Amino acid sequence: MNTDFEFDSAPDRRDSSSSKWEKYGGRDVIPLWVADMDFRTAPCVIDMLRQRVEHGIFGYTQPPKQIPAVVTAALERDFGWTIDPDWIVWMPSLVVGLSVVSRAFAEPGEEVLTAIPIYPPFLSAPRYGERVTVTVPLQECDGRWLWDFDRLEKAVSPKTRTLLLCSPHNPTGRVWSRDELTQLADFCERHDLVLASDEIHSGLVLDQDKKHIPVASLGDIAARTVTLLSASKTFNLPGLGCAFAIISDEQLRSKIQRTMRGIVHHIGALGFFATLAALRDGKAWQLALVDYLRGNRDLVEAQLSSIPGLKTWHVEATYLAWIDARELSVSDPVAFFEEAGVGLYDGKLFDAPGFLRLNFACPRSRLEEALGRIREAVLSR
């Protein structure tokens, strides 16, 4: 393990226009809500950006010549997934990708299916385009979140066009197994659905005995899959706006490109160059980050499981813990913990009222302080 990388201390983000920190500007609230990390990105990314900034010209930018080969090599290295560079479609963010996918394959009034709880834009992206979001609950079984295939079958109608999959899963932290993905792929084949797979958290698998499997690497399902990816979660670059879709089927790809035309803005130079450096040179930093996050995850799980009234689940991937606070019997759990000095994300937005999401991607001492405040608030209420 490379110990040259620093995660125990982090720059002060107050007054840096950070969405995460500005929400509680001037208040003593530790922000553990939106999914960005309080760590500096990999040194190789900062060096690359420095060089590009020194150039001093920021005109319209096309994808750097090397970047298709870098993306291709990274997917082969990380997941054994062989793609053709021509399958890559650049877009400025994953959320844009969710909206584009929702509109490309369903007409207004037609249905896009997903499972809850889920990262909020999965619910809003179809609705913003006047498509209908249909949801089925994941089921919690022996401490793990699973797909409920019976309910999924019942939720399909003649108007269903697309399944939105989050893999690994935000907010439950599940890494879907080969069997689970195969069942989802079969389901999409049987009902003639496009499978849109958001794999933005694929670089953040914490369990050493688990591996992320790109669903499109499983065979025939690739022909109906749009995989959405970005270096931004793993390397903490969401402020630079660079993401991409991998679409092997030419018809699906051109539908996506047509839906984007004239609306979706091109990518900025800094986003491209940061992505290039991260995917090409960032592996050692990524491994050190995942190791550090694993330690934070263990701390969160140990602490939260000993606080009466809170229930949490093992986080296999991501830096997000999902918490059931319903037994606390407080009317507004977010306000309750804000009052105690910790800012959490409201489960309501994930279609799960009474739940909370905690982002543990921060220096451990800050996390310890936040967990202490949570414990104190619960015990003294």
Ligand X SMILES: Cc1ncc(COP(=O)(O)O)c(C=O)c1O
**Residues 21, 81, 105, 119: which binds ligand X (CB under 6 A)?**
119
Among 112, 136, 166, 321, binds ligand X (CB under 6 A): 166
How far is it, in rounded angstroms, from Cα 320 to Cα 332? Answer: 20
Decide if 202 contacts 232 (C-beta within 8 A): no
Binding mask 206-235 for ligand X (x = CB under 6 A): ------------------------x-x---
- Is residue 94 within the footprint of ligand X (CB under 6 A)? yes
By CB under 6 A, residue 133 contacts ligand X: no
Q: Are 283 and 291 contacting, i.e. CB atoms less than 8 angstroms apart? A: no
196 scored as a contact of ligand X (CB under 6 A)? no
> Site size for ligand X, by CB under 6 A?
13
Work out how close the CB of 200 gets to ligand X at its nearest, in angstroms, rounded to a whole number: 4
Shortest distance, position 330 Cβ to ligand X, whole Å: 26
- Which of 229/377 has CB closer to ligand X? 229
**Rule CB under 6 A: is residue 286 a binding residue for ligand X?**
no
Return the residue of 49, 89, 95, 194 that touches ligand X, per CB under 6 A.
95
The Cα 116–Cα 142 span in angstroms is: 18
316 is an interface residue for ligand X by CB under 6 A: no
Q: Cis bond leading into 171, ω under 30°?
A: yes
Q: Can you tell me which of 243, 245, 246, 277 binds ligand X, judged by CB under 6 A?
A: 243
Distance of CA 374 to the CA centre of its chain: 25
Q: Is the dihedral of CA 244, 241, 358, 333 positive or negative?
A: negative
Burial of 250 (0-12, 13-18, 19+ CB in 10 A): exposed
| Closest CA relative to residue 279, chosen from 244, 311, 305, 319 | 244
In whole angstroms, how close is the CB of 57 to ligand X at the nearest point?
26
By CB under 6 A, tell whether 93 contacts ligand X: yes
Closest CA to 281 of 91, 89, 8, 47: 47
* Cα separation, 232 vs 244, whole angstroms: 11
The type of residue at 135 is T
| 198 neighbors 225 (Cβ within 8 angstroms) | no
Asked whether 98 and 196 are in contact (CB, 8 A), the reply is yes
Q: Does 172 bind ligand X (CB under 6 A)?
A: no
- CB nearer to ligand X: pick between 238 and 341: 238
Please identify which residue in 170, 225, 296, 359 interacts with ligand X, judged by CB under 6 A: 170
With binding defined as CB under 6 A, does residue 198 bind ligand X? yes
Interface residues toward ligand X, by CB under 6 A:
35, 93-95, 119, 166, 170, 198, 200, 230, 232, 238, 243
